[in-house]
Amino acid sequence: MLDLWLLIIFGFFIGIIASMTGIGGGIFAVPVLTLFYGFIVNNATATSLTTIIFTAIASTINYAKQKRIYYRTGLILVITTAPGAYLGAWLATIMQEKLLGIIFGVFLILVAIRMIISLLKKKNENKDEVKTDSELIKSRKIIIGAGLSFFGGVASGLLGIGGGTLVVPVMTVFMGMPIHLATATSMFTMIFTSISGVTKYYQSDLINFPVALILAAGTIFGAQVGAYTSKKISSRNLSLLFGIVLLIAGINMIIKYW
């Protein structure tokens, strides 16, 4: 088993990617805890989700200064993601997550491939009109987004991944939100989603708080770097990065749960 202090370094790099792409970082944190520190899956999932709370808060503070968060849209999505996360955490305590992990892994790969192919076909940035926060919550797209985001919450609680792996595609593909706003809003919603899932894991006594805090010490600083770097990247390149991260996450899940 590696020294615990190395978790800070792992956390730093996880925080950068998590904040830039709005995914939370659990897709990397869970494998680190299981492969290098001997955690069983449930403990790793619970501990990862606890760390994501700090990562999400740190990212949200930075993104709030950049005025990139759609707060009202995010809070509406929380109405479904938070209960979904609690349900996912409950399912994780009573069932084998292998099947869902494989299904979700395949889903992520398909979404990633679709996103990457779509980007490669486009030569220019998306010039579509961007709806404001108020306009978005009044449109029918918010209903679709809230419905689909529920499954992001379930995946967050069950797999400890934060939920952004599904919520960001929901906001960009189904709600038409630009990637820069979607990643920032995703991190905002993740605060509440993660707290909901962690509540159930805490009741089941599955969280290793010392490890979660050590890992969070790295992700907090990494999240600041990621949020700052994100605004320097074009929408096209950020979307491409997100697609690549999704592809890696999907492959990782299939390997992990096969």
Residue 126 pLDDT > 90: no
Q: Which amino acid is at 238?
A: L
In the DSSP assignment, the letter for residue 39 is: -
pLDDT confidence bin for 250, thresholds 50/70/90: confident
Every domain of the chain and the residues it spans: 6-257
- What integer is the mean pLDDT of 39-68? 94
Of residues 114 and 196, more confidence is placed in 196
pTM over 0.75: yes
Look up tokens 């967050």; give the residue: 156
105-119 mean pLDDT: 82
127 has a pLDDT exceeding 70: no
- Whether the Cβ atoms of residue 19 and residue 185 lie closer than 8 Å to each other: no
What pLDDT is attached to residue 112? 85
* CA 172, chain centre distance (Å): 14
Residue 129 confidence (pLDDT) above 70: no
Tell whether the model's pLDDT for residue 216 goes beyond 60: yes
Tell me the average pLDDT of the chain.
89
Distances (CA, A) of 115 to 238, 241, 242: 11, 10, 9
| Digit-coded pLDDT (tens) for 136-190 | 988 889 999 999 999 999 988 988 887 888 899 899 988 989 999 999 999 999 9
Distance CA(128)–CA(58), nearest Å, equals 30
What pLDDT does 123 receive? 57
Q: What is the pLDDT of residue 4?
A: 86
**Tokens 């619970």, residue located:** 46
* Under 8 Å between Cβ of 162 and 24: yes
